[in-house]
Amino acid sequence: MPPTDPEPEVAGPPTRRRPGGRTARIRRQVLDAVLAELGEHGYDGLTTDTVAARAGVHRTTVYRRWGDVGGLLADVLDAASDDDWQPPDAGSLEADLTALNQEIQTALTAQPPIVTALIAASFRSEKAAHAQQRLWEDRYARCEIVVDRAVRRGELPPHTDARRLLIAATAPLYHHLVLLRTPLDPQLPCQAARTAALAAGAGAFAEPPPASGT
């Protein structure tokens, strides 16, 4: 289907209630349809009409609950934070970061390219951008335990900045696969993890301890 102009966004964030029963089923159908349409046609081919048709619901149902394409994308991203995902515990900092990077690489190279399409859409929709930021904050917060465990094991100095370390470890995946679109390298997750772990162990991400009171 040829791409069409996205529908204009309307004000107001998507509803964040967590319904059950028929309402939950319809929500799941609609969000699955958003992902399918986005993966197949990209942001420019995503409309409330195509989503409603694919989900098998009336377009007024979609418009009443989500309002527009931005609301649909925001709810897809917000729904991703409702899971019980936790970062892997592989026994060492390098192993944990490698396993995390392998998950990222799998997601970024999956077909259809749902994750990369969502990232791209976040640059086109303000609502999606805010939801994407909420999702990133959620994932980084969950991954801080990887750094906490490494500090307790003595692999890292105290006061290591978890966010800086996690960004350094995972950024090469996004740079190569999303920005440069380089061919898949099975060694990239391990190489990026090892580089970050070595730098962190040497204190590259350590913050000075808080000043003691006088």
Q: Compute the distance between CA of residue 190 and CA of residue 110 in angstroms, rounded to an integer.
A: 19
| Predicted confidence (pLDDT) at residue 178 exceeds the cutoff of 90 | yes
213 confidence band (pLDDT: 50, 70, 90):
low
Q: What pTM, to 2 d.p., does this model score?
A: 0.83
Mean pLDDT for the chain overall: 90
What percent of the chain clears pLDDT 90, i.e. is strictly above it?
A: 84
Please state the rounded mean pLDDT for residues 79-92: 94
- The reply to whether 93-201 shares the fold of 21-80 is no
Contacts with 17 (C-beta within 8 Å, 6 or more apart), sequence order: none
* pLDDT tens figures, 134-145: 999 999 999 999
Residue 191: its pLDDT value, please?
Answer: 98
Confidence of residue 21 (pLDDT cuts 50, 70, 90): confident
**Segment among 4-8, 165-169, 199-203 with least mean pLDDT:** 4-8
In this predicted structure, what is the pLDDT of residue 22? 80
Across 158-185, average pLDDT: 96
Q: Which fold is adopted by the domain 93-201?
A: Tetracycline Repressor; domain 2 (1.10.357)
Query: Which residue from 13, 69, 22 is spatially nearest to 42, judged by alpha carbons?
Result: 69
With H, G, I as helix, E, B as strand and everything else as coil, classify residue 31: helix
Q: Would you list the DSSP string of 139-205? A: HHHHHHHHHHHHHHTTSS-TTB-HHHHHHHHHHHHHIIIIII-PPP-TTHHHHHHHHHHHHHHTTTT
Segments making up each domain of the chain, as ranges: 21-80, 93-201
Residue-wise pLDDT for 145-166, tens only, equals 999 999 999 999 999 999 999 9
Q: Calculate what percentage of the chain has a pLDDT beyond 70.
A: 88
Q: How many CB atoms lie within 10 A of CB 107?
A: 14
CATH architecture of 21-80: Orthogonal Bundle (1.10)
* 131 has pLDDT over 60: yes
- Who contacts 126 (Cβ-Cβ below 8 Å, separation ≥6)? 9, 70
Q: What's residue 14's pLDDT?
A: 45
